[in-house]
Amino acid sequence: MLTERERSEAYVREQRYPLPLKSAMPDVWALWQRAKTLEWDPQTDIPWEELHPERYSAEQVLAAQMYWSRRTWGEYGAISESPALLLRFCLERQLPDLQFFFTMRTMEEGRHAEASWLMADRLGRYFPQPQNPPTAGAVGTHGVRRMAFDPETSLEGIFASLVCAAEEILIDVFKATVHKATNPAVRRLMELILRDEVRHIAFGWQCLDAWAPSFTPQTVRNIEAAVTTMIENVEFRGYRNLWLAIEGGSATPAEIDADRISCEAGLGGNTPEDEMQVFPEFLRKIRKRMAPWGVTIPMFDHPRLGKV
């Protein structure tokens, strides 16, 4: 069955050799080495005994359950979708540094998904789906797998949109709000996720900086389009935070408000005020960071954030 399909050319054979394994991007190689020294286990490295959900009101616990459930769905995208990038690195014969590092990233994202699920579960309940089915469209996918398998979508565009936009804003919000997580178990989990994600983002920027000298005008346009799509079609649809959804009609008020209530209880999440502050700053930062590559990220109109 396998070799028959191979012989009938139902499968396309990789051009695997020569197979270089020597590091050619020392900064990325260092991230791979560092990742191996910082492994952790959500079951044992979080002080779960200090979670004490019984100390919070029913409304607060429910909000935190919703927040951590939605984080689980988001992290799951990094198991279900972005590993496709590793396949692309291998078949495009990208440098071994990228291939090695990305295996750790997949592992770490699996850990984040498990940890977020555990947090919701230990708060009393994990929600396996949004309350109204249409919301699934907004929070269900960031579309990276489709992009990774699409030869017309450049790798640079995927990196810029997934790593330097979607992951960067996620971490900017985490960084800006981790101090509000007064619950020790929640705080520790956020710190551990943050520690991994900082490496993921460094990976994206390091690759793009290294490739930038060879960017063509088409590459630049691809990056601009991919980042714009990620902001407008993913962030502004509420993938990370439903409050940001421009057309948030299908999410329930409880879901939209969950981040704020959870955050104010010290159980993780962020408030609209945090978004108002962090999101424009994030856009200013990536615009400035990408400008030397010739990339221009447009201004966006958002009903609550204004022109950002």
Partner 1 sequence: MGEGSEHAARLLRAYQAQEKRFVERRFPLRFAPEVPALRELYSQAKGLHWNPETEIAWDRFDAARYTAATREAARRTWSRRAWGVYPGLTESTALLIRFCLESGSLGMDAKLFLSFRPAEEAKHLEVCYMLAERLGGYEPDPGEAGLARLSNHPFTQAALDADVPVEAFIAALGALDDQLDLNLHLSHLRQAKDEVVRSALRLIAGDRARHVAFAWTLLGSRVPALGAAERAAVIDTVRDMLANVILAGYRNTWLLPEKIREPWLAAEEETARQGLGASTPAQERSVLRATVTQVRERFAAWKLDLPRLDHPELGTI
**Binding residues for partner 1 (CB under 8 A):** 1-6, 10-22, 32-33, 36-37, 39, 41, 43-44, 72-73, 76, 79-81, 83-84, 86-88, 90-93, 99-100, 103-104, 106-107, 109-111, 113-114, 117, 121, 126, 128-130, 133, 136, 140-141, 145-146, 149-151
Q: What are phi and psi of 217, to 5 degrees?
A: -55, -35
Inter-axis angle of helices 26-37 and 96-122, nearest 10: 40
Nearer to partner 1, 144 or 190 (CB): 144
What's the closest the beta carbon of residue 233 comes to partner 1, in angstroms? 17
The smaller minimum CB distance to partner 1, of residues 92 and 281, is found at: 92
How far is 281 from 222, CA to CA, in rounded Å? Answer: 23
Least gap, CB of 276 to partner 1 (angstroms): 30
3-state secondary structure of 302: strand
CB 297 → partner 1: shortest distance, Å? 27
Least distance (Å) between residue 15 CB and partner 1: 6
How many other C-beta atoms are found inside a 10 Å radius of the C-beta of residue 58? 8
Q: Please report how close the Cβ of residue 7 comes to partner 1 at its closest, in angstroms.
A: 9
CB of 102 or CB of 282, closer to partner 1: 102
Q: CB–CB of 144/167 below 8 Å? A: no
Q: What does each C-alpha distance from 177 to 73, 103, 278, 291, 293 come to in angstroms?
A: 20, 29, 10, 28, 31
Nearer to partner 1, 140 or 294 (CB): 140
CB of 75 or CB of 275, closer to partner 1: 75
SS3 of residue 275 by DSSP: helix
Q: Which of 197, 151, 200, 165 is nearest to 178 (CA)?
A: 197
Instruction: Find the helix or strand (DSSP H, E) in which 307 lies.
Output: strand 306-307
Alpha-helical runs (H) found in 184-252: 184-211, 217-229
Long-range contacts of residues 36-40, Cβ cutoff 8 Å, at least 24 apart:
36/104, 38/195, 38/196, 40/111, 40/192
Q: Between 10 and 299, whose beta carbon lies closer to partner 1?
A: 10
* Shortest reach from residue 89's CB to partner 1, in Å: 9
- Under 8 Å CB-to-CB from 201, ≥6 apart: which residues? 163, 164, 167, 168, 171
The least distance separating partner 1 from the CB of residue 161, rounded to whole angstroms, comes to 17
We find the least distance from the C-beta atom of residue 36 to partner 1, in angstroms, to be 4
Tell me the C-alpha distance between 194 and 128, whole Å. Answer: 24
Nearer to partner 1, 17 or 213 (CB): 17
Nearer to partner 1, 88 or 187 (CB): 88
